[in-house]
Amino acid sequence: MIKEEIFELVKNIIPAGTPFDVEFQEEGKFGHYSTSVAFALAKKEKKSPEIVAKEIIETLQKNELFEKIEIAAGGFINFWVSKKTLYEELKDILERKNTYGQNEKGREKKIRIEYVSANPTGPIHIGNARGGPYGESLARVYEESGYEVLREYLHNDVGGQIEKLGETLWYWYEKKVGRETAFPEGGYQGEYLEEVVTAALKKFKNKEDITIQTLTKFGLDYIFENNMNVLRRMGILFDLIRKESELISSGKTQEAIDVTKRMGATKEHEGALWFVPRDEFLEDREAVIVKSNGKPTYFASDIAYHKEKFESGYDLVIDIFGSNHHGHVPKLQALTKLFHFDSDAFKVLLYQFVRVKRGSEVIKMSKRAGTYVTAEELLDEVGKDNMIFSLLSSAPTTHIDFDLDAVKQKSMQNPVYYTQYAYVRAKSIGAKTGVFVLNSDTNLEFLSTDEDLFLIRKLAQFPDIIDACVNDFEVHRLTRYATELARAFHNFYEKERVIGEDEKVFQARIFLIEAVKIVFENLFRIIGISTPESM
RNA sequence: GCGCCCGUAGUGAAACGGAUAUCAUAACUGCCUUCGAAGCAGUCGUUGGGGGUUCGAAUCCCUCCGGGCGCACCA
């Protein structure tokens, strides 16, 4: 982590608590890395940025990490790292192979991440499919940083929506056996549930076994299994599936209600029990936890679930939800106080829904109306790599519009192909040259052209990208970096050769190619896309 | 009405208060007798409007305009 080394060096010679960053410089004209720390410091110390920058440089200049350090534009400090540093980093890649990029920052630390937790009454649709790759990549990035990660999913298998599901399934069943029946009010439209009933009829040999209860149970399991299959196709597997029904049957929901009451965070109003966090919390954070009919609401189980999360001894708890749940967030945050959990160690990350258009017409994602495009359809249409890469290319806060009509034709324009093609090219060279082993005769100094050196610089950025993702949860850096690395390699490929070069250069370049393959493989694994042999 | 999020080249996006706002794609012009042209080189083109904060604003604040979402004894 060259960036981090520089960061630490600077940090040690400036007053503690000064916020600053070291930036990778793509073009190199402002150095390989740079920092604007002198500006911030100048303000504090009431000196000119240039003088502050000079003071910093004087201490750093001796370090053999650098080839050159300069001050520019009145206070920016630009660092050029030495070739030796780059060759060392390249060796590190070749030695560490599939562990290159990993760090130990999360050693002995545990985090749990809840993501997807899809509506159990129908297929995962493209609107919330974004949470899958997002959560999964985040989980992987944490693993790369040495954390022990628990991937979890809440299955909302009780409540009014399940009753509606049952009623709708029953409607289709009656229809299939020729009984006169009306579509239930508030039932789920669309053909999907009819398919579920068809599957149920195949399974139940005896008609007497079919009741609204058995049908509901069958439907829930069937839909859940299908959703898990789709997630598996996207490379997503959970360690823990928490069922709301289990929270209730085990008494945990009731226990959570009791504790909340005892903590004085409830009030009775018109026969119902309300969650009323005290202190600075606003009124709109109030919510019913026990209805006047005595039944707990979903939120009661959510209190139980989060109580469990907070008391499980984990260092960090992350929830990833679609932005339509944002009203829920303050209530959950209020729970950290209730259960004495460090509120900084609980993060709720929201992503905006993906909108789908057909031409200029926006398709509303409604399970109730049956108008949605499923994640599975999109997977079939554009393929896993394309879909994941697209969904991970933008910050979770951006509102993505997918144009269904354009998606297929456009799939070939996806940068994922640009990226994978670079990998295939590298792989193709490697296949021709065979494998070489790094030894004392290897002289990497023959990697000396601008293209050689930039490629190494770019490869060396990889661990810093991983680290940055962990710090701010912005995993879309990964796809960004992938296209940048691909670009660096395509450029190299165009201008330089491996096979046919002078023996010494040839030898050194083989190792460079090998390093490119290693970094792409590690990167693709974290993003969740394949490493194709050919395209 | 109140609250949360978003407006960046034709299109999709990046930029944690920093330097000449990047990247991909589209369009146009070139480049296949040497490791794969799904590539490379070049051209074209961008911060919704208006105020403010400061050495410096796409980024922070105010306001207007446009879009998404949420404001249940649903989950």
The reported pLDDT for the residue numbered A356 is: 77
Annotate A335-364 with b (16+ C-beta within 10 A) or e (fewer). Answer: bbbbbebeeeebebbbbbbbbbeeeeeebe
Confidence of residue A94 (pLDDT cuts 50, 70, 90): very high
Statement: the CB of A534 is under 7 Å from strand B: yes
Taking the stretch 206-235 of protein chain A, residues with Cβ within 7 Å of any atom in nucleic acid chain B are: none
Taking the stretch 168-207 of protein chain A, residues with Cβ within 7 Å of any atom in nucleic acid chain B are: none
Q: What is the mean predicted confidence (pLDDT) over A112-134?
A: 91
pLDDT in tens, A125-150: 887 789 999 999 999 999 999 999 99
Statement: the CB of A476 is under 7 Å from strand B: yes
CA–C1' gap, A491 and B22, in angstroms:
17
Q: What is the mean predicted confidence (pLDDT) over A64-90?
A: 92
pTM, to two decimals: 0.94
CA–C1' gap, A118 and B36, in angstroms:
42
Burial grade of A308 (CB within 10 A; 0-12, 13-18, 19 or more): middle
Contacts of A135 (CB under 8 A, 6+ apart): A113, A114, A115, A116, A151, A236, A320
Angle between helices A37-45 and A49-60 (to 10 degrees): 120
The reported pLDDT for the residue numbered A281 is: 45
Q: Is A251 helix (H, G, I), strand (E, B) or coil?
A: coil
In chain A, how many domains are there? 2
> Which residue in this structure is represented by tokens 């058995």?
A214
Return the nearest residue to B14, CA–C1': A480
Statement: the CB of A293 is under 7 Å from strand B: yes
Taking the stretch 448-467 of protein chain A, residues with Cβ within 7 Å of any atom in nucleic acid chain B are: none
pLDDT in tens, A250-273: 999 999 999 999 988 898 988 999
Classify residue A72: in a domain, yes or no. Answer: yes
CATH number of the domain encompassing residue A46 = 3.30.1360.70
CA–C1' gap, A483 and B38, in angstroms:
14
CA A256 – CA A266 distance, rounded (Å): 12
Contacts of A440 (CB under 8 A, 6+ apart): none
Contacts of A353 (CB under 8 A, 6+ apart): A127, A128, A130, A322, A323, A324, A365, A399
Q: What is the mean predicted confidence (pLDDT) over A326-332?
A: 90
> Which residue in this structure is represented by tokens 């495009």?
A373
Q: Which nucleotides of B are covered by protein (CB under 7 A)?
A: 3-7, 12-16, 18-20, 22-26, 34-41, 55-56, 67-75
Q: What ipTM did this prediction achieve? A: 0.93
Look up residue A64 and give its two tokens.
């053999």
Choose among A415, A403, A399: nearest CA to A478.
Answer: A415
Statement: the CB of A507 is under 7 Å from strand B: no
**Of A46, A81, A116, which marks where a domain is finished?**
A81
Classify residue A296: in a domain, yes or no. Answer: no
DSSP A62-86: T-TTEEEEEEETTTEEEEEE-HHHH
Statement: the CB of A297 is under 7 Å from strand B: yes
Q: What is the mean predicted confidence (pLDDT) over A294-320?
A: 95
pLDDT in tens, A458-484: 999 999 999 999 989 999 999 999 999
The reported pLDDT for the residue numbered A364 is: 67
pLDDT in tens, A197-221: 999 999 998 888 999 999 999 999 9
Classify residue A22: in a domain, yes or no. Answer: yes
Statement: the CB of A31 is under 7 Å from strand B: yes
Of the listed ranges A52-56, A85-89, A436-440, the one predicted with least confidence = A436-440
Amino acid at A25: Q
- Residues A299, A275: contact at Cβ < 8 Å? yes
Mean pLDDT across chain A, nearest whole number?
90
More confident residue, A247 or A412: A247
Nucleotide nearest to A77 (CA to C1'): B19
The dihedral through the CA atoms of A150, A151, A157, A159 has a sign that is positive
CA A531 – CA A522 distance, rounded (Å): 10
Confidence of residue A29 (pLDDT cuts 50, 70, 90): confident
Classify residue A77: in a domain, yes or no. Answer: yes
DSSP A1-31: -HHHHHHHHHHTTS-TT----EEE-SSSBTB
Classify residue A306: in a domain, yes or no. Answer: no
- Residues A142, A106: contact at Cβ < 8 Å? yes
Nucleotide nearest to A324 (CA to C1'): B69
Give the C-alpha distances (Å, rounded to integers) separating A6 from A84, A91, A100. Answer: 15, 19, 19
Classify residue A189: in a domain, yes or no. Answer: no
Classify residue A302: in a domain, yes or no. Answer: no
Give the C-alpha distances (Å, rounded to integers) separating A446 from A179, A433, A511. Answer: 82, 17, 11
Statement: the CB of A23 is under 7 Å from strand B: yes
Q: Is A184 helix (H, G, I), strand (E, B) or coil?
A: coil
pLDDT in tens, A277-294: 865 445 567 889 999 999
Q: Is A339 helix (H, G, I), strand (E, B) or coil?
A: coil
The reported pLDDT for the residue numbered A377 is: 86
Amino acid at A252: K
CA–C1' gap, A24 and B54, in angstroms:
25
Statement: the CB of A20 is under 7 Å from strand B: no
Q: What is the mean predicted confidence (pLDDT) over A317-326?
A: 93
**Of A66, A81, A96, which marks where a domain is finished?**
A81
**Of A81, A103, A124, which marks where a domain is finished?**
A81
- Residues A340, A386: contact at Cβ < 8 Å? no
Confidence of residue A16 (pLDDT cuts 50, 70, 90): confident
CA A428 – CA A513 distance, rounded (Å): 10
CA–C1' gap, A495 and B32, in angstroms:
14
CA A91 – CA A456 distance, rounded (Å): 10
Confidence of residue A408 (pLDDT cuts 50, 70, 90): low
pLDDT at A369 over 80: no
**Where in the sequence is the domain holding A17, given as residue range(s)?**
2-81
Q: What percent of chain A has pLDDT over 70?
A: 95
Classify residue A294: in a domain, yes or no. Answer: no
pLDDT at A82 over 80: yes
CA–C1' gap, A367 and B71, in angstroms:
21
Give the C-alpha distances (Å, rounded to integers) separating A131 from A116, A216, A437. Answer: 5, 27, 42
CA A133 – CA A138 distance, rounded (Å): 8
pLDDT at A90 over 70: yes
CATH number of the domain encompassing residue A516 = 1.10.730.10
Look up residue A357 and give its two tokens.
């258009």
pLDDT at A499 over 60: yes
CA A307 – CA A263 distance, rounded (Å): 13
